[in-house]
Amino acid sequence: MLGVRSAEDGQVVYLDRPMAAADVLGVVPADIEPTRVLRFASHCVSACAHRRGNDCTLVERVRTLPSAREERSVPRCHLRGRCQWWQQAGVSACHRCPAVTTATFREDTLATLVADPATTPEQLTAWIAASPDGPGPDGPESRGTSDAASAGTSR
């Protein structure tokens, strides 16, 4: 498990050290989907739909999102030394990472677009610009995005 989504703003609060998913799933109330409140990491796999060569295209779409965190330090995250997104995109990935959720929920169009390997960063930029909320700290970034559609990433 990578972290827990804050009830306040939905952003992920990272754990200091990894915990096995099996050790925490039992404490999530039965009426709450664990993927709504917990953020899980997984290993990259060769057959991942987001893989292009050695790169993860998912982080390219995630980096398209506006970030409310660019003036802040990167989150403390136990995965950094092994994180594909960090290796590929550095602090810009970490600034957006707390808004990423484990699962895509049907009602969240932006998360669905980000999780879709067929979406280009240019399409995302256009969608965000046309969104009623617009880009910015209170716009699409705060609604979160998902990395669950990937067969495997390192976050």
Torsion of CA 118, 95, 82, 90, to 10 degrees: 90
5 binding ligand SF4? (CB under 6 A): no
Least Cβ distance, residue 2 to ligand SF4 (angstroms) = 6
Least Cβ distance, residue 75 to ligand SF4 (angstroms) = 5
Single out the residue of 38, 68, 94, 110 in contact with ligand SF4 (rule: CB under 6 A): 94
149 binding ligand SF4? (CB under 6 A): no
In this structure, are residues 150 and 51 in contact, taking their beta carbons and an 8 Å threshold? no
CB atoms within 10 A of CB 47: 7
75 binding ligand SF4? (CB under 6 A): yes
83 binding ligand SF4? (CB under 6 A): yes
Query: Of 90, 54, 85, 86, which Cα lies nearest the Cα of 147?
Result: 85
Single out the residue of 38, 79, 113, 114 in contact with ligand SF4 (rule: CB under 6 A): 79
77 binding ligand SF4? (CB under 6 A): yes
Half-sphere CA count of 52, side-chain side, radius 13 A: 9
Residue with tokens 């039965």: 30
The binding site for ligand SF4 (CB under 6 A) comprises 75, 77, 79-80, 83, 85-86, 93-94, 97, 155
